[in-house]
Structure 1
């Protein structure tokens, strides 16, 4: 009886150890062991969502995945080219310029989409007591347009080009999200124009000490910009996005994406897309904008998709 009891204990222990060993094994064998994701500064939505995706890949694919802090989309494209990150979060305008080899790029980049993200919303931000009511009021003012190398700066360059308003009409400042918060509070800038998800953590942070206003975009202004850059679409910022708002704010947006180089292994991209789409409930707990990352929005992305993403879309019958 004693021998039987000892055997049962040993057998149970072996099962537990074997089970633990199996639990530690990757669920999928991939041609890559690490997936670094280019995001942006830690105060923005890019980093939060990128970190959420990274956690899913680490948890379900058994690869080492990290969300890398960068200056944003423009730098992310260069980091992919130099193989310092495998995939990256991009704005559609930065991806389009990179594919065509247009400024600020000096060469063409062979990028492909792997996932749709969320609408990147233009948010023209001032403190509540500001005298600025429109783009015309920016003349001579200090205006933050995004940090060097960021997709926000690239987007603002296209925005003001579409409006026919050169940077020389005001005093451009090149600040990050965190720097914007400090500068608006201490009065060293008059306005910040950012393209990011709404609600944005950095704007909510400013609201913890100061009331803010978002300047609406006039229909005529939107038509001018969208007429030149078709990936900008009308978008309404809901009053509920920020506690300072007294009404919905008409604006515009462009659909963000996750991209990889064409040469990145098809099998790896397939499993990245599969993992994200099959665990959207977890990603949506990270940030509310993750609700936009779904199959119905695949067509919002206008650059070509990677073969690995197409493989998954076809398998599931998704239109793209």
Structure 2
């Protein structure tokens, strides 16, 4: 059957217009059209605070930074997150400051320095050492000979656990080591697979709250002498007091080491993008506070006071714009 020329022309025109329409739709995105820039936010496990915090960040970025689409990703947390930034598999990462320090120095878990830059500080982590109320573990010295989860492989929790325990003279060969995520810690304590679970996380965290709804728990408190040993060996760890009643059944104040967390990027992120992200976050911070109350500590002032890696030029621009003085040690080399 021969198709008349006029009909063939109409079919060709229709196909061409369809292809052009598809290409136009694919090429548009964001609030003002143009190519969408996709950002992966490396967080942590779903049982911690990084994941909901990162999800709230993604929501703010998607609503308020034109032409950008951000997604919060579940990861092994701080150590893995630094490596994801280095390989550009993630563009934004949530990290504990002790891991940030090791990453920029190329020490501990890192065989080379990673050129990280700080966008802003988030909130402090509390070193939760959790066991069941009827456990015979009542002090850090009682960990000897027990089954202890020190955190997921590649996590900031394991990095901190290793160092804190080391400062107290406790080595991994003195107890049975488990490397579990926060959610796995909860299940393992619930089923008595482990005696103690360690969380380095902002309080209150959902996985411990979940455990406390079904089992009576207790948290180990550090003595003044123990805190002094930790701070002397690792000065980037501070002291934090957890208010009584933060978790169901924990009716006394608990003292333990703490470390700040920061939102980090690679130095290769453009100044304009970093500036827009920082500005959007601080102008809409209440959206994160609604998801995680600890985000009340996310302030420009805390960012300058607690950063351990240089600020990104985009962050410097924003902080100066709102009238803050940025100390010289936080000005990145590329701005000097």
Question: Is 2:306 aligned against 1:300?
Answer: yes
**Aligned residue among 44, 48, 54 for 2:52:** 48
Aligned partner (choices 303, 309, 316) of residue 315 of structure 2: 309
**Matched residues in 1 for 2:245 and 2:312: separation?**
36
Q: Distance in 2 between matches of 1:309 and 1:214?
A: 37
Q: CA deviation at 1:318?
A: 2.1
SS at match of 1:114: strand
1:133 maps to 138
* C-alpha spacing 1:127/1:313, structure 2 compared with 1 (3 Å): same
**Residue equivalent to 2:164:** 159
Spell out the pairing of 1:142-181 with structure 2 (5 A cutoff).
Answer: 142-181=147-186
Question: 2:109 is paired with a residue of what secondary structure?
Answer: coil
Q: Which residue in 1 is equivalent to 2:89?
A: 84
Which of residues 220, 225, 229 in structure 2 aligns to 1:220?
Answer: 225
Distance in 2, Cα, partners of 1:137 & 1:83: 42
Q: Check whether the contact 1:93–1:231 (CA below 8 A) recurs between aligned residues.
A: yes
How far apart in 1 are the matches of 2:301 and 2:33? 29
Change (3 A) 1:172 1:270: same
Q: Does 1:124 align with 2:135?
A: no
Show the counterpart of 1:191: 196
Match of 1:261 in 2: 266
Q: Give the distance between the partners of 2:163 and 2:220, measured in 1 at CA.
A: 18
What is the number of equivalent residue pairs in this alignment? Answer: 297
Q: What is the alpha-carbon root mean square deviation over aligned residues?
A: 1.7
Deviations 1:167-211 (A, max 9, x none): 111111100011111100110100011110111111001012111
SS of alignment partner, residue 145 of structure 2: coil
Whether the aligned pair in 2 keeps the contact of 1:46 and 1:89 (CA below 8 Å) is yes
Q: Which residue number corresponds to residue 66 of structure 1?
A: 71
SS at match of 1:165: coil
Residue 99 of structure 1 corresponds to which residue in structure 2? Answer: 104
Shift of 1:319: 3.6
Aligned to 1:109: 114
* Distance in 1 between residues matched to 2:35 and 2:325, nearest whole Å: 27
Residue 103 and residue 31 in structure 1: after superposition, are their counterparts in 2 closer, same or farther (change >3 A)? farther
CA distance in 2, matches of 1:129, 1:31: 58
3-state SS of 1:240 partner: coil
Kindly state the Cα deviation for residue 296 of structure 1 after the two structures are TM-superposed.
Answer: 2.5
State which drifts further: 267-276 or 292-301: 292-301
Shift in alpha-carbon separation, 1:319–1:81, aligned structure 2, 3 A = same
CA distance in 2, matches of 1:237, 1:110: 34
Tell me if structure 2 keeps the 8 A contact 1:31–1:265: no
Structure 2 stretches lacking a partner, 5+ long = 1-27, 327-336
CA drift of 1:28 comes to 7.8
CA deviation string 1:248-275 (max 9, x = no partner): 1111211100001111111111011000
Gaps of 5+ in 1: 1-23
Structure 2 residue matching 1:193: 3-state secondary structure: strand
Q: Which residue of 2 aligns with 1:5?
A: none
Q: Tell me the equivalent position of 1:280.
A: 285
Find the counterpart in structure 2 of residue 38 from structure 1: 42
**Aligned CA distance change for structure 1 residues 195 and 30 (closer, same or farther; 3 Å):** farther
CA distance in 1, matches of 2:93, 2:248: 32
